[in-house]
Structure 1
Amino acid sequence: MSTNAYIKYLTQQLVEYFNLTKKERKEKRRHRKEDNNTSVLSHWFGIVPFALSMFVRKKIKKRKQMS
């Protein structure tokens, strides 16, 4: 993307944002927060924490079955 196209895009986004009422901006922000259900660990580190937690749970479950 060229610099001019990027500046044009940013300008359009700013104009659209400022044309919204305060109530619309708050509603849009609230809606965006509701849609984001990913955990902080997954957001920052991807699937690695999830995979590690599954691995640990599996090991714990095996140890309980052996006892």
Structure 2
Amino acid sequence: MSGNDYMKFMTQEIVKYMDMPQEERKKRRQENKSQRKQDTLSNRWFGLLPFAFKLLVKKKK
């Protein structure tokens, strides 16, 4: 993606966000916060390594 394409995309996204009603923006932020809370503690604190290890252990069983 060239620099012009990226700037065009970012400008479109910003304009979409700015045109969105304030209530919708607040609702979207709340949904993102609640989704972050659903992440497991190991993924949130240590990244994907514990998750990958857990999958590996489950696969071997």
TM bracket, shorter-chain basis: 0.5 to 0.7
Q: Alignment partner of 1:47: what SS? A: helix
- Deviations 1:8-57 (Å, cap 9, x if unpaired)? 010000000000111110001111222332235414521326737xx8xx
Aligned residues: 53
The alignment's TM-score, normalised by the length of structure 1, stands at 0.59
Q: Pick 1 or 2: higher relative contact order, CA cutoff 8 A, min separation 6.
A: 2
- Which whole-Å CA distance do the structure 2 matches of 1:21 and 1:33 have between them? 19
After superposition, residues 1-67 of structure 1 pair within 5 angstroms as: 1-36=1-36, 37-39=38-40, 41-43=42-44, 45-48=47-50, 51=53
The alignment's TM-score, normalised by the length of structure 2, stands at 0.64
The answer for unaligned runs of 5 or more in structure 1 is 56-67
| Higher radius of gyration, 1 or 2 | 1
- Which whole-Å CA distance do the structure 1 matches of 2:26 and 2:35 have between them? 14
Percent identity (aligned)? 26
Q: Alignment partner of 2:12: what SS? A: helix
